A and B are shown apart, each in its own frame.
Chain A
């Protein structure tokens, strides 16, 4: 099983210091970068799938990111990914989702894989459109909001449980396919200390737009289809009441709470 995981370095959400620069783009120097949280879930799923069938298996990280990305990708390599491919080019600063998807699709054309996994969205942009767009550019089946991934290698198919408002849908597609991954797939592992040391010798290959045979005038900030005009911090949440006790007591208190506010 050969899996490519799309990985994005994002400003550490725990730092609380995300901000936009004067040009309306995320100020990536302001806050230390971490691997996007949902991407770690996708990577965890990939590592479990390849561990189940290790013969000829590999997990490749693919990231379109500024030049400093390898430092962040090390963590994903330490978790167990086999190698990384880092697409970076000065022309890519300020890329919109369409550009990003075009570039990732071009990079994927140069890789061999059975599955591409991606987090459902990233904590910086939160658009959640890139995975579907990559699938569209490559003509791959797109299975979204995966809570479970079950490949059948001999049959060349993959089954996915897609989270729906009422439960889940069961999807099946031929491989190769692209799957967007949710946190229901299971907690990502910690990088072990031996994994951290082993990651030192793992390869992160760098690819420029020229390497991907992409014309710099067709992607990047200059041709961005969207622009961030302003951002606003959501208002702080009001006080939270935690209801403890037996289920009966809890239910009684919740009914009271809702009734007081004339919600029920």
Chain B
């Protein structure tokens, strides 16, 4: 399975595994229980370079392949999905700046994010615009002459913004005019502390509880034109351009959840005795284990293939949707079976097994619900036959 990895990718994988086991595993259950984001762990990820792993060396990234990034996310997801999601979102908020930012914007915005000193967030979702992202209502009102605006005044509310309120740097999508639909959407770089920008309610989640998510409230927050990313009306394309990467990243973390469920269940079946023999002697349970292993292998295969497609520079809309949909469903099924195999111990919050199930559930919903991914895949299939 790892035969085609380069020597650097294997070392990256080993480093991420060691980091996850040594740094993330020890407090993962407690952080979930107390809904506590441990910023020092993110700082350590920055020191290691994970916060810049798949970004090009030309902007100060480590220059790893996207396949390499999936190895990192699998290792982190296997141990602490909340931190994996936090890091994934941090990257998601950087890609558009790498792809669309001016050299001045990149120099101003990226270094502190690449090094992990500043945490990033991606602010698209609104109360009335989740899957239907083009329907956002947060307004960006031009300041100064229409043909040469000096800045923009933002008003509206974002919800479910992961890493808020902890994050310092927000990539915010707002519309110049809701009547323009997706063509009115524009992207802005907004810093925490900007007057008129505050945080609303914190989301109280089922899973990934140690990764914060909160409401953003813009009440006439002014941002200079220098903080507009891309042109007016380019925001929707900018948002979509980053989502493919984000989906592969979450898919890989889901492979990690599934792998963790499989490994834990396999060990448990060999250790736990019932009716005078280890549980693993029961053929019915072995069948479950085999099905779990199949899910992990299939999810990993489609995820890595999507990453390879990205590394080859191919379009990834279909591949990334298939990966995210397949891997999050696999994580949910395997985690559910892992809880079943652990029985009462799995249902207890002490062992961390039920956490896998709660964490997996969210991944079927965020980064595009798995229903949206079916629509994307169908669109791509029809496009391929000229339909």
Binding site for B on A (CB under 8 A): 71, 74-75, 78, 190-197, 199-200
Contact = CB atoms under 8 A, between A and B. Distances in A.
**Best-surrounded residue of B18, B49, B50, B64 (most CB of chain A within 10 A):** B49
Given A193-B64, A196-B15, 16 more contacts: A71-B10, A74-B8, A75-B14, A190-B19, A192-B47, A192-B48, A192-B49, A193-B15, A193-B50, A193-B62, A194-B49, A196-B11, A196-B12, A197-B8, A199-B8, A200-B8
Contacts of A199: 8, 11
Nearest to B10: A71
B63 interface: yes
B50 A74 contact: no
B7 interface: yes
A74 B10 CA distance: 10
Nearest to A77: B11
B19 to A, nearest CB: 6
B263 to A, nearest CB: 13
Contacts of B10: 71
Contacts of B49: 192-195
B171 interface: no
B356 interface: no
B53 interface: yes
Choose among A71, A74, A193, A199 the residue with the greatest number of B CB atoms under 10 Å from its CB. A193
A75 B11 CA distance: 7
A190 B11 contact: no
Interface string B265-285: 000000000000000000000
Nearest to B17: A14
B134 interface: no
18 contacts: A71-B10, A75-B14, A190-B19, A190-B48, A191-B11, A193-B49, A193-B52, A193-B53, A193-B64, A195-B49, A196-B8, A196-B11, A197-B57, A197-B62, A197-B63, A197-B64, A199-B8, A199-B11
A199 B19 CA distance: 19
Interface of B: 7-8, 10-12, 14-15, 18-19, 47-50, 52-53, 57, 62-64
A71 B7 contact: yes
B351 to A, nearest CB: 18
A198 B260 CA distance: 32
Nearest to B23: A190
A188 to B, nearest CB: 10
B1 to A, nearest CB: 14
Nearest to B72: A193
The 5 closest A-B pairs by CB, nearest first: A193-B49, A193-B62, A192-B49, A196-B11, A196-B8
A193 B12 contact: yes
Contacts of A194: 49, 62
SS class of chain B's interface: helix, strand, loop or mixed? helix
Nearest to A34: B14
**A contact patch SS:** helix
A194 B47 CA distance: 10
Contacts of A74: 7-8, 11
B8 A191 contact: no
Contacts of A200: 8
Nearest to B11: A196
Contacts of B11: 74-75, 78, 191, 196, 199
Contacts of A193: 12, 15, 48-50, 52-53, 62, 64
A5 to B, nearest CB: 18
Contacts of B47: 192
Contacts of B53: 193
Contacts of B62: 193-194, 196-197
Contact of A190 (B15, B57, B64): B15
A190 B52 contact: no
A226 B50 CA distance: 46
Nearest to B50: A193
Contacts of B15: 190-191, 193, 196
B333 to A, nearest CB: 29
A191 to B, nearest CB: 6
A43 to B, nearest CB: 15
B14 to A, nearest CB: 7
A78 B53 CA distance: 15
A193 B61 CA distance: 9
Contacts of A197: 8, 57, 62-64
A20 to B, nearest CB: 25
Nearest to A200: B8
Nearest to A191: B15
Q: Which of B14, B50, B57: most chain A Cβ within 10 A? A: B14
B58 to A, nearest CB: 13
